[in-house]
Amino acid sequence: MGSLRVSIGSVRLDRPGMVASGIMDETGASMIRMLRSGAGAVVSKSVGSVPKPGHPNPNFTETVGGCVNAMGLPNPGIDAFGEEMRTAVSEGPIVGSVFGASPEEFAMLADRMEDYGACAVELNLSCPHAQGYGMELGTDPKVVAGIVSAVSDAVSVPVWVKLTPNTHILTQIASAAESAGADAIVAINTLKAMVIVPEFAKPLMSNKTCGLSGRCIKPVGVRAVWDLHKAVSIPIVGVGGIEDHRDALEYIMAGASAFQVGTGVLTRGPEVFADINAGLESFMEEHGYPDIRSMVGVAND
Ligand code: SIN
């Protein structure tokens, strides 16, 4: 049976799939539930310096092939999140996702996540619908480099950078992050989107724009990982529309060392991880791959 173990730099996981930030990761109990469902790690909800209510309703709906959300980074703030993190890290690896508006704020938040026991920090530089945060910062290579450099100086755990597909310079941004000390690139976050209700002649979301996730974005994510695999030497974590082992294999064969599942947890339930793990093991046995690592980038070499 092929091994499911993976390494994302110095982060070693028994299973290759992680829960993506923003789903089943707001409390210690929900993160533990996901680890027990077969996820190799959980990425926490993106947490900021102070409590943030997020955008008012409507902020979520299903669409063809996926979902759209404009949650607006709701979170309880880094002080209150400590208890949830400490509970969850007693069960398994938790990656602490943070968002901020400046290098100093990112560095402070990452340092706190390290104190709470995170095995790595993930910098959310890619939310497409939170004013002053996310992709507003993460589409400028110089800004990304400044944030990554400040965080790398502040923490000793690996620094992962989650990037947006809403740019034509993704590989330049990733290279800037790598040069500034990033340990892994996570790609992709949601595609900037909009839903209009014809009867109201208005956008559905209170925030107007939102982020598209789910299976409909998988080809965009796979292409992004393909490009990133050629552009950077640090590991890539693939995310976007993974719901079964064949979706995961596309990302791995494009160049991802591991992957995350977000909307797939909603559509398939927590069992999605056990199903993907079993599917990957069968595939490796049938096709003679000894482990996940032996498949990374094979479609791209
Ligand atoms: C949210 O919580 O607003 C979604 C996070 C993201 O898009 O990065």
Report how far apart, in Å, the C-alpha atoms of 217 and of each of 103, 105, 245 are: 30, 31, 16
How much is the pLDDT for 34?
A: 98
Which residue is it, tokens 């064949």? 246
Residue 210 counted as domain residue: no
Q: Please tell me if the CB atom of residue 186 comes closer than 6 angstroms to any atom of ligand 1.
A: no
Q: Is 233 exposed, middle or buried (0-12, 13-18, 19+ CB in 10 A)?
A: exposed
Residue 127 counted as domain residue: yes
Long-range contacts of 284-292 (CB under 8 A, 24+ apart): 284/1, 284/2, 285/1, 285/2, 289/2, 290/2, 290/3, 291/2, 291/3, 291/4, 291/5, 292/2, 292/3, 292/4, 292/5, 292/6, 292/16, 292/252, 292/257, 292/258
Beta strands 196-197 and 202-203 are antiparallel
CA of 161 to the centre of ligand 1 (A): 14
Which residues of the chain, if any, have pLDDT below 70?
Answer: none
C-alpha–C-alpha distance, residues 96 and 85, integer Å: 8
Quick one: which atom of ligand 1 is closest to the CA of 54?
3
User: Residue 281: how many CB atoms within 10 A of its CB?
Assistant: 15
List the residue whose alpha carbon is closest to atom 7 of ligand 1: 127
Residue 290 counted as domain residue: yes
For residue 137, what are the contacts with CB-CB under 8 A and spacing of at least 6? Answer: 101, 125, 143, 144, 147
Residue 202 counted as domain residue: no
Is-catalytic flag, 127?
yes
CA nearest neighbour of 170 among 161, 180, 160: 161
Residue 160 counted as domain residue: yes
Residue 229 counted as domain residue: yes
Asked whether the beta carbons of 86 and 44 are under 8 A apart, the reply is: no
How much is the pLDDT for 301?
A: 74
Which pair of structure tokens corresponds to residue 147? 């944030």
Structural domain range at position 235: 6-54+73-189+215-300
Q: Please tell me if the CB atom of residue 71 comes closer than 6 angstroms to any atom of ligand 1.
A: yes
Which pair of structure tokens corresponds to residue 21? 């930030």
Could you give the number of structural domains in the chain? 1
List the residue whose alpha carbon is closest to atom 2 of ligand 1: 73
Kindly name the residue from 67, 127, 210, 216 that is annotated as catalytic. Answer: 127
CA 288 to the chain's CA centroid: 29
Report how far apart, in Å, the C-alpha atoms of 272 and of each of 67, 221, 267 are: 17, 19, 9
C-alpha–C-alpha distance, residues 180 and 151, integer Å: 10
Mutate to test the pocket of ligand 1, among 127, 137, 188 (most ligand atoms within 8 A of CB): 127
Residue 24 counted as domain residue: yes
Q: Please tell me if the CB atom of residue 22 comes closer than 6 angstroms to any atom of ligand 1.
A: yes
CA of 210 to the centre of ligand 1 (A): 9
C-alpha–C-alpha distance, residues 216 and 209, integer Å: 18
How much is the pLDDT for 2?
A: 85
Write the CATH number for 267. Answer: 3.20.20.70
Residues in the chain, total:
301
Q: Which residues pair with 175 in a beta bridge?
A: none
Q: Please tell me if the CB atom of residue 189 comes closer than 6 angstroms to any atom of ligand 1.
A: yes
How much is the pLDDT for 100?
A: 98
What does the pLDDT look like over 95-146, one tens digit per residue?
Answer: 999 999 999 999 999 999 999 999 999 999 999 999 999 999 999 999 999 9
